[in-house]
Structure 1
């Protein structure tokens, strides 16, 4: 078995991260995005904590990150998950290891709810999230069009922290 490592994402990882993100975009099942943004835009959109990469034998195989869903203080413990595994690394359990690590890290940082929006055709992502403790809390019908103009549904999946007040929770 290869040597698997999970560590915080660094700016120097961006070339590999963006390549994996572009692979996900190309599947047309992972995101409605049609192009990978430049690092500055991606960096501004995602929370600085809870950015992880998984390496297989020293090669960056996947990444996961969080973004806030709402800037209001009452939602400070709620974030949306992005997770991508490189094409040649899929189907080997790396996604579940990475998502599990992200969930653990998010609780250390005080997040109590993680959301994930999964496109209707992405059965692998539905399975991954379910395996890691997420549940479907809604289906948004005909919410957006793909790049071919086809209406698609998305599933809203949610995972609650194990404790009502995770380790990093901050009261007023």
Structure 2
């Protein structure tokens, strides 16, 4: 099931397959499905914990349940949110989505990913399962490039992106401020 990691170069689609193969054995207990408005409360709990405690998101104010429900109801197609669940109908343990990278039309072939896993389930391959799903959706939808914008000191997020074939393409220096500190943002890219 496991294989050595392929050489990293742009356009090497084997990266996503490496990502998929290397997590398949550990993720048989988890499945992915499209998120519904009924998942809003659990997603909100995962997200707001990150807002209040970590640098995973640059949001400073927790979302309301109404805002989370609206966010979910407005997403469709390739931009639908998905959740990882324990078993086929178990509790939500993580969520992910694609978003347009920029509003201007020239950027329409590039998407940005977001992946969040509950802290209680971190380190169990759920982030990799969600990311692999997003990569497949992006490819199937005809996108050319996927971007991950990550707080630069987030070792786990950077490792997840690297494991799935993303390359570091730049660092945005001190572009945000949270918890009384400046934030650098690592920009990672996968050519689809």
Question: Which TM-score bucket, shorter chain as reference?
Answer: 0.7 to 0.9
**Residue of structure 1 equivalent to 2:15:** none
Uncovered stretches (5+) of structure 1, i.e. residues with no partner: 162-172
TM-score, normalised to structure 2, is: 0.76
Structure 1 equivalent of residue 45 of structure 2: 19
Q: Assess, with a 3 A threshold, how the Cα gap between structure 1 residues 45 and 147 changes in structure 2: closer, same or farther.
A: farther
Which residue is equivalent to 2:105? 73
How big is each residue's C-alpha offset from its partner over 1:15-54, in whole Å with a ceiling of 9 and x where there is no partner? 1111111122233220111233312553488565342111
Aligned match of 2:21: none
Unaligned regions of 5+ residues in structure 2, if any? 1-25
Kindly provide the CA deviation profile for residues 141-165 of structure 1, in whole angstroms up to 9, marking residues without a partner as x: 11111132x112110011110xxxx
CA distance in 1, matches of 2:94, 2:43: 7
Number of the residue aligned with 2:153: 121
Q: Secondary structure of the equivalent of 1:99?
A: helix
Contact 2:83 2:93 in 1 (8 A): yes
Count of aligned positions: 160
Q: CA RMSD in A?
A: 2.0
Three-state SS of the structure 1 residue aligned to 2:124 is coil
Cα distance in 2 for partners of 1:45, 1:27 equals: 27
